[in-house]
A = this chain, B = another copy of it.
Amino acid sequence: MKVAILGYGTVGSGVFEVINSNPAGIARRAGEEVTVKYVLDLRDFPGDPVESVLVHDFAKIVDDPEVGVVVEVMGGVEPAYTFVKEALLKGKSVCTSNKELVAKHGAELLEIAKQKKENFLFEASVGGGIPIIRPLNQSLTVDEIQEITGILNGTTNYILTKMREEGLDFDTVLADAQAKGYAERNPEADVEGYDAGRKIAILTSLAYGMQVDYEDIYTEGITKITKDDIAYALTAGADIKLFGTSRAVDGQVYAMVAPRMIDKSHPLYAVNDVFNAVLVRGNFLGDVMFYGKGAGKLPTASAVVSDVVDAVKHQGKHVMTLWNSRKLKLADMNTLVNKFFVRVPENEKEKANCLFSVEREFTAEDVKGQYAFLTAPMAEGDFHAAAEQLTVLNYIRAELA
């Protein structure tokens, strides 16, 4: 089987390295030898081993009947979408790590793959090296999925971990993460939660078999999380994580990305640094969790190549994935019930206690002049109506006993 790789960036060079490093092992798993015939990139790489297979023109790949599997690791919607669609229409399977592409066009590309009896696989688009897409499609097939909650973005998890461990504020840690290459120069997609939003959109689409548009998902990032929030959380034995969550309640599905305050009874409590994890709650299974490196060249490449192996094993047979283009209408966030951690100026304590049913009060040694409390479970809409009457310094949804 001849493979073509579109894009020779971090993941693309990892895929090239992984395929070339263990050809016998891969052949044993795939049932035949797998070699890279082309790598597409606009750039040249003089002296790099990729040079001998480097091409600049996609037509060369798509018109070569010997290429049976195309690996798309360019990122971004275009030209990835055009290339992937063309490859599928020519009867080639496609494996991708591109979450933007999958979130936006997954349903359509799966439909083409199905018609062509080929496969469109995207294990690496969520959770990097963590097997989550295939387990969701092939293992968790019996349960009604009640909740999916993931720490889906390594950059924000790293920032929150450092803020907690070193008592630093968001801007300082972000600058450090950028210096270390853990955060992009333009960090918006990570810190505003957009990246996590695309990933929870993909997982939710797969869990319910219908299209969830990430634009419809309520999304809050971590930029408003301060040292004070973390100080209060620590005193309460809690921690703050950025969660992508979808939850089925009474036949309706809620989806959101937002920071959440959790304590150590939560299965995701111990997931720190750049690690990712996804918790799936089924009506029979209870909680199952998948954990690992959510990014990085080789873990992500390993997941992409496991898709290549699967594509080679299933030539001419579409592996069923339930995800049609009918749109899943998400439930109104205002009706979602949560507890809230809230900080207000100290002089609003009495007012806060009138407006909210306070379940618990928080203290933090180094924070003065504030009143921090946990509300009883209440609907989002009711929370915001009451919060408007206070000078809310910050609020965070909370899962605390």
Interface assignment of A86: CB less than 8 Å from any CB of chain B = no
- Which partner residue on chain B sits nearest A14 by CB separation? B284
Interface assignment of A238: CB less than 8 Å from any CB of chain B = no
Q: Are B287 and A293 in contact (CB under 8 A)?
A: yes
- Which partner residue on chain B sits nearest A129 by CB separation? B285
Number of copies of this protein chain within its complex: 2
Interface assignment of A329: CB less than 8 Å from any CB of chain B = no
Q: Are B139 and A123 in contact (CB under 8 A)?
A: yes
Q: Are B301 and A284 in contact (CB under 8 A)?
A: yes
Interface assignment of A358: CB less than 8 Å from any CB of chain B = no
Interface assignment of A134: CB less than 8 Å from any CB of chain B = yes
Which B residues touch A290, using CB under 8 A? 288-291
Interface assignment of A45: CB less than 8 Å from any CB of chain B = no
Interface assignment of A160: CB less than 8 Å from any CB of chain B = no
Which B residues touch A167, using CB under 8 A? none
Q: Are B285 and A292 in contact (CB under 8 A)?
A: yes
Contacting B at CB under 8 A, from A263-298, are 264, 267, 269-270, 282, 284-293, 296, 298
**With contacts A28-B322, A286-B293, A291-B291 known, is A269 near B267, CB below 8 A?**
no
Interface residues of chain A: helix, strand, loop or mixed (majority):
mixed
**With contacts A290-B289, A299-B284 known, is A134 near B129, CB below 8 A?**
no
Which B residues touch A142, using CB under 8 A? 18, 22, 25-26, 29, 302, 305-306, 309
Expressed in whole angstroms, the Cα–Cα distance for A305 and B141 within the complex equals 8
Which B residues touch A134, using CB under 8 A? 134-135, 138-139
A contacts, CB < 8 Å to B: 18, 22, 25-26, 28-31, 123, 129-131, 134-135, 138-144, 209, 264, 267, 269-270, 282, 284-293, 296, 298-299, 301-303, 305-306, 309-310, 313, 317, 320, 322
A-B contact pairs, 10 of them (CB 8 A): A22-B142, A26-B141, A28-B322, A29-B322, A129-B286, A141-B309, A285-B299, A285-B302, A287-B291, A287-B292
